Amino acid sequence: MAHQFKAAINQLNKVSQLRHITYDELEILRRPDRVIEVSLPVIMDNGKIKVFTGYRVQYNNTRGPYKGGLRFHPQVNLDEVKTLAFWMAIKCAVADIPYGGGKGGIAVDVKTLSLSELERLTRAYTRGFADFIGPNIDIPAPDVYTNPQIMAWLMDEYSHIKGENTPAVVTGKPVEIGGSLGRETATSLGGFYVLEQVLAKLKIAKHKVSLAVQGFGNVGMNFALIAQAAGFQIVAVSDSGGGLYNEKGLDLKAVLAHKQKTSCVKNFKSAKNISNEKLLELPVEVLVPAALENVIDENNASRVKAKIILELANGPTAGGAEDKLSKKGVLVIPDVLANAGGVIVSYFEWVQNLRHFYWDQAKVEDRLKRQIMNALEKVWQTMEAQGNNNMREAAYIVAVERLVKALRIRGI
């Protein structure tokens, strides 16, 4: 077992000791159902053929079809895809939606591809995996460096292969071809609902809360805008090029206009430039890592000053860091709960596709709030029953108990 997947399974092992989970049940949960690797030959614009490697990992469909993102990134490897598929299985169980975990990826730097090469690569991936995906088998969605347009190509290619229009094969599609209203901001809005409720439980008034958001992509940016509109003070944001800090608060609309003009947030006139590393150590109430994995590790955990960490990225807190944060009394709202808004609204999109009946945005957001609040309540009660401040442990307990219960009932 490689490093990242091993760390994820260690969390599962810990939880199984806290609950009466048999060795046999644990053995099933420790392994993905299916790991698929496919060679994808693509004709490039220069007429030469380049062969890419595509992955899909399907992790436990006891509670429903596999579900999970498709990422295009140079660092994509099997260990990472397995880990993300496992996390998706946990996340769907925490959110209590009828899905298992899945994840896919291609090792590619999309910045080196033309639009037509990107389309041909997406269609090649779809052909390579057409027998393993589908509305009742495995439903991909956007992830790192994939977007609604890529989902549209995937759905179109799959529909051609199957000989019928099949919008429910993917989620995160454009609204014009069966995407759901509210999907674009779902991860951010779900995270905001969770944070608001946690602050209410801790009796912390929002006007006393300052936030730093690492990652100003779709999720981080939308979260920051939603939080600022609700009265929270955003004092720092960053993207891959670096960050900004103004302890009195940032004007995010102006920051956004600056980023659109210069393609990065730094050198904004009314804020100090800071590094991504320094942003994590700012004296704020809430830190929101919304970019990459493992940004808070054993080296910098002791310098984190935030009282609450809201994980909008997948796996931003490395295993060893969590113990240090916990000892300092930092409350980590784990990714499997904090960013579950995306998969919840993906589930709503799939339901709408299957019924050919579409909801307005208010209905989507109202149902998202209800679903994620129920998940938070269950996790919070479990954490209180455990008598600690470890929300990740509580979330895993909730998920693993639901998965094991389904295993027992089905008799696998």
The Cα–Cα gap between 287 and 207 comes to 16
Residue 346 annotated as part of some ligand binding site: yes
Please tell me what DSSP assigns to residue 399. H
- Give the phi and the psi of residue 308 in degrees, each rounded to 5: -135, 135
Nearest CA-CA partner of 88 in 315, 379, 346, 336: 336
Nearest CA-CA partner of 57 in 99, 27, 101: 101
User: Do residues 201 and 282 make contact, with C-beta atoms less than 8 angstroms apart?
Assistant: no
Q: Which residues are catalytic?
A: 103
Residue 67 annotated as part of some ligand binding site: yes
Residue 187 annotated as part of some ligand binding site: yes
Q: How far is CA 410 from the centre of its chain?
A: 29
Strand ranges, E, within 85-137: 100-106
**Which strand (E) or helix (H) includes residue 233?**
strand 233-239
Strand ranges, E, within 20-155: 34-43, 49-59, 66-72, 100-106, 138-142
User: Do residues 197 and 373 make contact, with C-beta atoms less than 8 angstroms apart?
Assistant: yes
Residue 326 annotated as part of some ligand binding site: no
User: Do residues 339 and 187 make contact, with C-beta atoms less than 8 angstroms apart?
Assistant: yes
**Which strand (E) or helix (H) includes residue 376?**
helix 361-386
- Beta strand pairing status for 308-310 and 286-289? parallel
Which amino acids are annotated as binding site, given as ranges? 67, 91, 187, 218, 346
Which amino acids are annotated as binding site for substrate, given as ranges? 67, 91, 346
Which amino acids are annotated as binding site for NAD(+), given as ranges? 187, 218
